[in-house]
Structure 1
Amino acid sequence: MSAEGPSRSAPGVTASGREVVAAAMAGAAAAWVRSLMPEQLAVAQRGSPLTPGAEAERLKWFYTPTDHGGLAIRDQTPHQESLAMQLVASGLSKAGFATVATVMGLENILDQVEGWQVGWGRRRGRDPGLYWLRLFGRPGDPVWAWRFGGHHISLNNLVVAGRVVSTTPCFVGADPAETELLGGSLRPLHGLEHAARQLVSSLGARQRRRALLHERAVSDIVSGNRATVAHGDTMMHMQDLWRGQFADRRLADLVDDIDRRAEEGSGYTERDHAALAISIPPKGIGARDLDADQRADLRRLLALYTGRAPERLADAYAVHYAAASVLDEVHFGWAGGTEAGEPHYYRVQGPNVLIEYDNTQRGANHAHSVWRDLTSDFGLDVLAEHRARSAH
């Protein structure tokens, strides 16, 4: 069982809280399903996570502008779109939903940044309507799940026995990371970046040497879109982050070029990637070696990720990480520059939590962030227990 999250029996968590969130999800999902035409439902819904074929599909997740699987927002009526977004909102805090909705809208800005030229094999390459929603099983079943994703968004939720047991992997990115507005700027992930920079800037020389993972930033998160993360995993390259291979040679060349430029920008070799590989035990400086103010900064950083979850679950995470013994096992690591505008990467890792953030591409104006549970992404451990009980 996870010792670092409210999926089951973490400190501060009540079963009723997980049940309330699950009931809201089931109600929103059922309303969306009732609104769909048969041909839409055939695309939107797959079998239970207990069936091998559906489970194999559920474990596929992406953050690139590829087909994430399910019914796209643009292929729904306005009423259906509203119901779909109500389901998405049921799996997020108010602030989390606002962030996700903002990132979806960034596709319009990115289209302009790229001169309206990037196609990705479809009529509109950057499309705020290309976010896909898919159910696995039926809302209210003993085991059911739902997934929502598109470019820079991936939300994955599992409900077992009427309780939310997993909300990870949870990916949110932003491109551009910062956009000029009249009288200000739009920075959806600024808090994640500012809080981590504040922590690394507070470290003394000896602490910083322990926290430093590499002098240069890696060009992407290291865990990629793997279903599970393991010791020794190195950064996945762009070519492996898509659903299948491109039949169009032009698109394959485009992805190759993006990856090549990203690698040239980071200056990483295979040796550098190995140095930044996921490791168990974690790299970086442990919370037990931080002072009281720095530990508070680390808790605030954790809360910016766990705070994506619905408030009942997010509050439980906050209570959990308030325990000194839990925080002691969490490590913080940094790679790259520490000044605003410099390419950088950071990692927060404990026995059950993995957080990664990078802002390196497009002149350090293209950010990725992911929150994962190393022992229960997709609720795989809970499903294993469920299968074992059902077999007897």
Structure 2
Amino acid sequence: MRAESQPALASTTMVPAREAAATAMAGAAAAWLRSLAPEQVAVALFDSPLTPGAEAERLKWFYTPTDHGGLAIRNQTPHQQRLAMQLVASGLSKAGYATVAMVMGLENILDQVEGWQVNWGRQRGRDPGLYWLRLFGRPGDPTWAWRFGGHHISLNNVIVAGRVVSTTPCFVGADPAETTLLGASLRPLHGLEHSARQLASSLGARQWRQALLHGRAVSDIVSGNRPMVAHGDTMMHMQDLWRGRFADPTLAGVVDDIDRRAEDGSGYTERDHAAVAISIPPKGLSARDMGADQRTDLRRLLALYTGRAPEDLADAYAAHYLTESVLDEVHFSWAGSTDAGRPHYYRVQGPNVLIEYDNTQRAANHAHSVWRDPVSDFGLDVLAEHRARAAH
């Protein structure tokens, strides 16, 4: 899936940034692990990513309010919570961490929006303490990983030989996407939406025909929470985005109803879903068919996603897309309206990147965004090479 002409994201120019990020993560993870009681360690620490059982668990990721696996923030002491959040911050830029922390706090607002009624089979349906942290292998091991996730957050990091080799999938959502404050508004993902709309609105008629996937927006990101992305993938339905199906028929009915309302809102049929399916090569408008200003806008949009990574690593990602031949392979596509406040979806896709954004549900006030690497999500390419060398 990687274009032969493109320099790899693992090139030597990125090595210092990958090593610095790994060092920070290892220090923060070790401090958190030391603070835990034995019974907490049993929940927080899983086997190495190189073991089949751990790998199967590590590849399970979610953005729904289901059990993400690991030790929940609410089940930690205040001191442990601080150390946990230091680990989370070590895997993000300052802006990325602020966004993630803000999304966690939105659970309190969403609880009020929903009339304090949603339960999801627990005492509090929307709980800012229900974000889970889990280590796979011990920090400092030749190969280890960590995951942090809860409703609308999933961060996945893999470290091999003292270098961060993968920071994806990286999911950040917001519900509500916009909240009215006293004299202001809170919009955690506004930059992602505004920048993409600016690019879409700049396209000429011929460019727009290439970029347009569908006149209506699909109701969720198309790649869903699949561990790997493949040609022909269509949108996953709500029932498949949880850690198993609900045994309680009432809760199962709630999920079915959410999915039904989302599908009714989009008006999508199987044929429509096929039209917006993931494809390799990508659908949409290639950057090589964009003008100079549009290419600048596309780079800016890419940087808003790769900028979630620690600053040095984010700078290295940004530099990668300064290479003209690299940017040429990136495609931009859109579905739905370009009017603010109307349901829409967009995708940015290239050999080493898949970005999706949708804001469709709750009257276009519930946004999802994901940054993925179809080649190296979860570091699977690097781990496969590691296993192959070990076998010889």
TM bracket (short chain): over 0.9
Instruction: Quote the Cα distance in structure 1 between the aligned partners of 2:9 and 2:284.
Output: 26
User: Partner amino acid for 1:9?
Assistant: S
Q: Where does residue 349 of structure 2 map in the other structure? A: 349
The aligned length equals 390
1:20 deviates by 1.0
Q: Is the 8 A contact 1:7 1:164 kept in 2?
A: no
Q: Of residues 9, 12, 24 in structure 1, which corresponds to 2:11?
A: 9
Q: Where does residue 373 of structure 2 map in the other structure? A: 373
Give yes or no for the alignment of 1:207 onto 2:236: no
1:181 deviates by 0.4
Instruction: Quote the Cα distance in structure 2 between the aligned partners of 1:329 and 1:8.
Output: 18
Instruction: Quote the Cα distance in structure 2 between the aligned partners of 1:336 and 1:239.
Output: 24
User: Partner amino acid for 1:362?
Assistant: R
Instruction: Quote the Cα distance in structure 2 between the aligned partners of 1:6 and 1:290.
Output: 23
C-alpha spacing 1:232/1:386, structure 2 compared with 1 (3 Å): same
User: Partner amino acid for 1:345?
Assistant: Y
1:352 deviates by 1.6
Q: Is the 8 A contact 2:17 2:316 kept in 1?
A: no
User: Partner amino acid for 2:193?
Assistant: E
Give yes or no for the alignment of 1:146 onto 2:124: no
Instruction: Quote the Cα distance in structure 1 between the aligned partners of 2:153 and 2:64.
Output: 9
1:142 deviates by 0.3
User: Partner amino acid for 1:288?
Assistant: R
Residue by residue over 1:124-180, the C-alpha shift from the partner in whole angstroms, topping out at 9 and shown as x without a partner, is 000000000000000000000000000000000000001000000000000000000
C-alpha spacing 1:146/1:2, structure 2 compared with 1 (3 Å): farther
State the SS of the aligned residue for 1:159: strand
User: Partner amino acid for 1:8?
Assistant: A
State the SS of the aligned residue for 1:370: strand
Instruction: Quote the Cα distance in structure 2 between the aligned partners of 1:201 and 1:295.
Output: 14
State the SS of the aligned residue for 2:49: coil
Q: Where does residue 58 of structure 2 map in the other structure? A: 58
Q: Is the 8 A contact 1:25 1:90 kept in 2?
A: yes
Mapping for residues 332-347 of structure 1, pairs under 5 Å = 332-347=332-347
Mapping for residues 66-105 of structure 1, pairs under 5 Å = 66-105=66-105
Q: Where does residue 298 of structure 2 map in the other structure? A: 298
Instruction: Quote the Cα distance in structure 1 between the aligned partners of 2:274 and 2:146.
Output: 34
Q: Is the 8 A contact 1:48 1:144 kept in 2?
A: yes
User: Partner amino acid for 1:333?
Assistant: S
1:16 deviates by 2.1
Q: Is the 8 A contact 1:2 1:376 kept in 2?
A: no
C-alpha spacing 1:5/1:323, structure 2 compared with 1 (3 Å): closer
1:317 deviates by 0.8
C-alpha spacing 1:171/1:78, structure 2 compared with 1 (3 Å): same
User: Partner amino acid for 1:185?
Assistant: S
Residue by residue over 1:68-92, the C-alpha shift from the partner in whole angstroms, topping out at 9 and shown as x without a partner, is 0000000000000000000000000
Mapping for residues 216-227 of structure 1, pairs under 5 Å = 216-227=216-227
Q: TM-score, normalised by structure 1?
A: 0.98
Instruction: Quote the Cα distance in structure 2 between the aligned partners of 1:356 and 1:114.
Output: 26
Q: Where does residue 159 of structure 2 map in the other structure? A: 159
Q: Where does residue 182 of structure 2 map in the other structure? A: 182
Instruction: Quote the Cα distance in structure 2 between the aligned partners of 1:21 and 1:343.
Output: 37
Instruction: Quote the Cα distance in structure 1 between the aligned partners of 2:93 and 2:248.
Output: 40
- Residue identity over aligned pairs, in percent, reads 83
Q: Where does residue 310 of structure 2 map in the other structure? A: 310
Instruction: Quote the Cα distance in structure 1 between the aligned partners of 2:319 and 2:11.
Output: 13
RMSD over aligned Cα atoms: 1.2
State the SS of the aligned residue for 1:127: coil
List gaps (5 residues or longer) in structure 1: none
Moved beyond 3 Å, runs of 4+: 1-7
Q: Where does residue 27 of structure 2 map in the other structure? A: 27
User: Partner amino acid for 2:295?
Assistant: R
Q: Where does residue 242 of structure 1 map in the other structure? A: 242
Q: Where does residue 195 of structure 1 map in the other structure? A: 195
1:2 deviates by 6.5
User: Partner amino acid for 1:368?
Assistant: H
Q: TM-score, normalised by structure 2?
A: 0.98
User: Partner amino acid for 1:285?
Assistant: L
Residue by residue over 1:208-253, the C-alpha shift from the partner in whole angstroms, topping out at 9 and shown as x without a partner, is 1110000000000000000000000000000000001101100000
Instruction: Quote the Cα distance in structure 2 between the aligned partners of 1:25 and 1:365.
Output: 34
Q: Where does residue 110 of structure 1 map in the other structure? A: 110
User: Partner amino acid for 1:383?
Assistant: L
